[in-house]
């Protein structure tokens, strides 16, 4: 599902390739104020997963606390769909500088001269750490739990005042 541009693109975070262009958002809501920001650049598979988890966790922790909190599921779903674009990429690698010169070597073959390019080996890239999945992070549940407790408290208070 990647386009032809990803074959030559490198991750702008770790320098690994292949990479795909993605946009990850985070949102903080406090009462009536809202802060929405995003990061759009080329990400490799692991850096995209790490950004998805970081920004979605931040949104799930701090996005529920105001009037615009209804948009939190949409932001998390947009992040998830952008992370899905990078899941079919290979694991990121970078050229190994100590492997070879990458210069062409001239070799004689059947009386003619042929240029043979020395292949460069590749090593794993130093990517961002994706960490634990979102469903295993306690902080992602704080917003919904506190909101649920407030709703239950309001319902109980409403029926005790009758």
Interval 119-145 mean pLDDT: 80
Q: How far apart are CA 21 and CA 41, in angstroms?
A: 5
Mean local confidence (pLDDT), 43-51? 92
pLDDT band for position 2 (50/70/90)? very low
pLDDT category at 5 given cuts 50, 70, 90 is very low
Higher pLDDT, residue 35 or 116: 35
- Quick one: pLDDT at residue 106? 54
User: Does 4 or 90 have the greater pLDDT score?
Assistant: 90
pLDDT tier at 91, thresholds 50, 70, 90: confident
């Amino acid at each position: 599902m990647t386009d032809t541009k990803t074959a030559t693109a490198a991750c702008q975070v770790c320098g690994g390739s292949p990479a795909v262009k993605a946009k990850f958002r985070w949102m903080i809501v406090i009462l009536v104020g809202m802060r929405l920001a995003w990061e759009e650049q080329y990400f490799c598979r692991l850096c995209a997963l790490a950004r998805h988890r970081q920004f979605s966790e931040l949104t799930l922790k701090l996005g529920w606390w105001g009037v615009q909190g209804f948009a939190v599921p949409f932001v998390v779903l947009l992040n998830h769909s952008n992370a899905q674009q990078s899941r079919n990429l290979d694991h990121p690698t970078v050229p190994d500088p100590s492997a070879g010169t990458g210069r062409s070597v001239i070799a004689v073959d059947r009386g003619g001269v042929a240029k043979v390019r020395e292949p460069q080996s590749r090593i794993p890239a130093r990517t961002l750490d994706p960490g634990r999945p979102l469903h295993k992070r306690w902080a992602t549940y704080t917003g919904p739990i506190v909101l649920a407790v407030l709703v239950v408290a309001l319902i109980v208070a409403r029926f005790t005042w009758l």
